[in-house]
Amino acid sequence: MRKTVFIIIFAFIVMNSAYSYDAPPYGENLLLLGFPGLMSDAASVSGGGIFDAGPYSVILNPALTAPLQRVSANLGASILLKDENTGFAFLMGALLPSRWGVWTALAQGALLDLPFSPPGNMFNGRLGWSRDISENLYVGASVFAGITSNYGTGYAAALDLGFVYRVGKLGFLKDARVSVAAANLGKTFGNDLYSNFPGSFALKGGFAALLFENNNFSAGFSADAAFPTFQNMVLNLGVELNIIKMITVSCGWDMNVHEFANNKEMHGPSVGIGFKWTANIGASGIMMNQGWEQTDVNVSAVYQTINNSINLFSAGVSAQFGSIDRDPPVIKLGGAES
């Protein structure tokens, strides 16, 4: 085991030497644009203070989707405003559980011109797989590929790996989770102005847990650290409050050490809100045939300031079709009476 860990670390160092770190401002957050859950969870690789996951989660940690049992879909969009300039981003994804694991497909893009950063148009697609190895241990992997245009043409092709371990109760904390992800193992985006964004060969680690939970309220926190290209460190901290299992209020904050050391303007915290309810679609047609008469719907929105000069607004909707079967099968033994 120690030899394997040493080989992995050595490989990271060797691959890192092939890349210079010249990420643009907010470049490490490029793939988070387009869906509010990616920002309101403070980029948590552990699923946020109050665990939540969907197709979008594979961007943070491909193992997060392993416990999901229902077909799910996400759709989100963001708008960035600075003076008279406007930028856009979007994300759409679907998730399908199966006997071999949980499969995810995503498509996302961003249309950003100067003065937004990183400038250019970006489009990429991603495929993910995850599985629960045990009740508490999840593993996952995803691959993505994309292109950038304007300010030069570039492409990206990389692999993400991750795992989540649910510790459970830890002192006064509940549902404690420890997670590690190795992201962007390959080539990331670049153009004529900047290269290697988000940073290649990024090692991420995180911890999240519930602070308290009762019938009406629950609150949790998450703390993460990422090391893009092993030449930078990004710290993330998030807190969440859920009210009557319907309303979630969240706040996330990140600190990019490279940008801070180079006197770049800092990002403001993200502030988000979400509303969750169960929709009764009806007992007819394809929804009934698939057992999707009831669907959990979550509508969310986030606001954040970027570089103290750009206003970002993001909104999205998530749906989990059907209901979770929590009743174990009943097995009756019987035979002819004598």
How much is the average pLDDT of 11-40?
A: 72
Residue 180 above 60 pLDDT?
yes
81-114 burial, b at 16+ Cβ within 10 Å, e below that, comes to ebeeeebbbbbbbbbebeeebbbbbbebbbbbee
Percentage of the chain beyond pLDDT 70 is: 85
Rounded-to-integer distance, Cα 25 and Cα 104, Å: 29
How much is the average pLDDT of 13-21?
A: 51
Distances (CA, A) of 211 to 98, 134, 178, 214, 310: 33, 25, 15, 11, 33
List the domain boundaries for the chain. Answer: 2-321
Residue 219 above 70 pLDDT?
yes
Q: Taking the model in full, what pTM does it have? A: 0.87
- By DSSP bridging, strand 85-98 and strand 234-243 are unpaired
Report yes or no: 118 and 197 within 8 Å, Cβ to Cβ. yes
End-to-end Cα separation, the chain, in angstroms: 59
Report yes or no: 50 and 220 within 8 Å, Cβ to Cβ. yes
How much is the average pLDDT of 311-325?
A: 88
Who wins on pLDDT, 291 or 147? 147
In 3D space, the residue among 307, 302, 270, 209 whose CA is nearest the CA of residue 42 turns out to be 270
How buried is 134 (Cβ within 10 angstroms: 0-12 exposed, 13-18 middle, 19+ buried)?
exposed
Residue type, 329: P
How buried is 296 (Cβ within 10 angstroms: 0-12 exposed, 13-18 middle, 19+ buried)?
middle
Max avg pLDDT among 8-17, 64-73, 182-191, 314-323: 64-73
Max avg pLDDT among 143-157, 180-194, 230-244: 230-244
Residue 20 above 70 pLDDT?
no
Residue 157 above 90 pLDDT?
yes
Q: How confident is the model at residue 281 (pLDDT cuts 50, 70, 90)?
A: low
How much is the average pLDDT of 84-93?
A: 93
In 3D space, the residue among 45, 51, 49 whose CA is nearest the CA of residue 221 turns out to be 49
Residue 71 above 90 pLDDT?
yes
Using CA atoms of 95, 99, 100, 102 in order, give the dihedral in degrees to the nearest 10: 20
Q: Strand pairing partners for 73?
A: 94, 319
Amino acid 306: pLDDT: 84
Who wins on pLDDT, 35 or 293? 35
Amino acid 330: pLDDT: 57
How much is the average pLDDT of 78-84?
A: 90
- Residue-averaged pLDDT of the chain: 86
Question: What does CATH list as the number for 2-321?
Answer: 2.40.160.40
How much is the average pLDDT of 267-295?
A: 76
Report yes or no: 214 and 243 within 8 Å, Cβ to Cβ. no
Residue 70 above 60 pLDDT?
yes
Rounded-to-integer distance, Cα 320 and Cα 85, Å: 36
Residues in the chain: 338
Percentage of the chain beyond pLDDT 90 is: 60
